[in-house]
Each structure stands twice: as C-alpha cells, then as structure tokens.
Structure 1
Amino acid sequence: MARTESNEFEMGKKAPDFILQNVITNQYLSLEHSKGKLGTLIVFSCNHCPFVIHINQELVRIANEFQPKGIAFIAISSNDIEKYPQDAPHLMKIVAAKNQYSFPYLFDKTQEVAKAYDAACTPDFYLFDADLKAVYHGQLDDSRPQNGIPVTGKDLRNAIKNLLDNKPPLQIQKPSVGCGIKWR
C-alpha cells in the first residue's frame, strides 16, 4: 500500500467553505451550516483505504466523545469513483452505516473541496476553531496498519482538548499518513 503524507496547512487559515451531498441523508450541507459551536473536524476519507479502515472505529469513538461538547465532525470522500468504484456514494452510505458514523459523510464529486484544502491522503485531518480557523492538521496517532501500535487517537484527542480548554495549538503536529487521494 502506497504511503502519502498530508501537505502543510497554515495554522490560523480559514476553512474553505463548501456545499456537498451527505450520502447518508442525500441532503446538501454547507460547512457554514454544519460547523460546530466550539470547533469542527474535517477528515478526508474514503471507503477502501486500509489506513482509514484501520482507524475508523477510533474516529467514531472520538466523534461520539466530542460532538456533545460542541465539536462537529465531517467526513469527505474526494476519490475518483470512475477509477475507484468502491468509493461510490451508494457504497459510502453502506460504510457509514456499518461503522455507525454519527457525522455526515460527504461526497466531493468534482474534487474541488479536496483541492481547496490541499488534501493529499486518506485519512487527512483538519481541526478548526469556532471561527473556522485552523488549529490542527496532523495525524490521529502513531498507529498504522501492521505497525503493531494500538489505535488510541492520542494526537487528535489532544488537539481537540487543547481547543476546548482554550490552550494554544499543539506545537508538534505530525503529518497524517495514508493512501493518496485518487485524482482524476
């Protein structure tokens, strides 16, 4: 499996807005209307990437822990579904149900949203404050498929806790690692 690191995303940069279809409800959602009261986590994801499959359960646990505290979670798939039909919206809906996503799973058909965020891999995590300014862009934790390190969500959890506790962003933000986004 190819390993791609996330690109840099400037801290303090405003999250690019979007309007995308939530495959779970078939409704279109904008970032502005989906953001959390205290912060928003956006994760670029997909159905078939082994790195995403490896962390899916922990991501759901983190979402269930922090959504009640004012942090919105949004997953976005931007993969080219002509070359990668396993990432098609109807299959995204099945993956969301199987993993019990408590958050929207959006389809970026044109890939314009992934480009606006300079997303590079799946998973690729972006945490924004209440004003949608970036405070974290890094990994979930040090676990990767087959490296033997347990999935804990330590890095992402610490970034969210710092945001909720009004502490400065994490000084060390290791890039996320995963499969490259499947561009057209």
Structure 2
Amino acid sequence: MNIEDIMPDFDLPAVDGNNHTNNFFDDTQCSLVIFGCNHCPYVVANHQRIVDLYEKFSNDRFKMVMISSNDVIKYPQDSFDNMKNLSQQLNLQFPYLFDASQEIAKTFGAERTPEVFLFGANHQLVYHGSIDDNCMEPKSVNEKFLENAINAVLNDQNVTNNETQAVGCSVKWV
C-alpha cells in the first residue's frame, strides 16, 4: 500500500467469536491495523506497547485490530486456538483477527510482524511501518512513530513521518 491509499476491504474471524470487516472502522477518525502473531519475538516484545496504545487512545474516534496471517502448519503456535489463548492472557480489548488465507496480508502488502497501517478519517493510509524506533527494548525508545502519527490524526494535523521500515519477523507464507 502507498500513503493515501484507501483501506482494503476485509472480513475475518476474530477470537471473540465474531467476524469483523473494515466497516468496523466506520465513523472513526483514526483506524489502526497491526499485523502481528503469537510467536515472533519482535511482536512479543511489543505486546505491552500494543495494549498500552489501545488503552491510551481507545475511544469513539480511534479503533484498532490486530491480524495474524502466518502459516499455522509450519507455525502451530500461531493457530486460531493459540490466538484465543494469547488474547485472554493479554486481556486484549480489541479484535484479534485470523487471516488463514493470507489474502488480507497480501492485499495490504504486509511483510513483517509487527507491521502497522494507520488510516485517517477518510480511511486513507497516513502512516505505515514500525511502532517505534526500538522494537525490542521499550526503555530505549527515542521516537514513538505510531503514537506521534495517531496524535497528529486525532488533532487534525498532518502526519509528518508517513513511513518507516517495519522491523520484525517475516510473515510466514504458506
């Protein structure tokens, strides 16, 4: 995806027992899609940061989902049942979606976990890349790329740093 592209359509099952579509983001000013998984050490190192971001910004103007698209045959720790377990362990309050066909990851152009796609009010991509500048050590973070972008969108400002390199494990393709 390129900056200003419109959020792709999706319809995926979530660990909460419901299917969620991109319509989940209707009437929001700021929409976040994170490609993650259960096993990647980069995602594991970001679990608390992801939960904290949700807790900090969650309101009627901001919504987020996390999508796991990994091959569960080669990486059974990323299975739907294990996604449910992780969601319970972390007490996730946002939808954790399963992209078994990997079509949504391909449509977004996701290549890494974690990799974030932030959309503004018109569902246009305004930021793509990493959560921050130190994916493994939260105490060593100097730049909070995603948080800065969310703040800009919620304050009706332009996102000045639209794209950073996503650092993490590769999506595990079938």
Q: CA RMSD in A?
A: 1.7
Distance 1:151 1:106, change over 3 A: farther
What's the secondary structure of 1:177's corresponding residue?
coil
Matched, 1:105 2:102: no
Who is 1:157 aligned against?
147
Matched, 1:177 2:167: yes
Deviation of residue 172 (structure 1)?
5.5
Distance 1:85 1:163, change over 3 A: same
Matched, 1:93 2:84: yes
Deviation of residue 140 (structure 1)?
0.9
Deviations along 1:17-45, one digit per CA (max 9) or x if unpaired, are: 1000011x111111113446111100000
Deviation of residue 97 (structure 1)?
1.3
Who is 1:51 aligned against?
42
Distance 1:178 1:67, change over 3 A: same
Aligned-partner Cα distance in 1 for 2:9–2:28: 16
In structure 2, list runs of 5 or more residues that go unmatched: none
TM-score of the two chains, using structure 1 as the length reference: 0.88
TM-score of the two chains, using structure 2 as the length reference: 0.93
2:140 corresponds to which letter in structure 1? Answer: P
Deviations along 1:106-155, one digit per CA (max 9) or x if unpaired, are: 0001000000001000001000012211000021111133x685357711
Deviation of residue 67 (structure 1)?
1.2
In structure 1, list runs of 5 or more residues that go unmatched: 1-8
Choose the corresponding residue for 1:16, options 5, 8, 30. Answer: 8
Aligned-partner Cα distance in 2 for 1:90–1:28: 15
What's the secondary structure of 2:31's corresponding residue?
strand
Aligned-partner Cα distance in 2 for 1:152–1:59: 17
Who is 1:32 aligned against?
23
Who is 1:3 aligned against?
none
| Paired-residue identity, % | 36
How many residues align structurally? Answer: 174
Aligned-partner Cα distance in 2 for 1:51–1:115: 20
Q: Determine if contact 1:36/1:71 at 8 Å carries over to the other structure.
A: no
What's the secondary structure of 2:94's corresponding residue?
coil
Deviation of residue 171 (structure 1)?
3.0
Instruction: Tell me which moved more, 66-75 or 49-58.
Output: 66-75
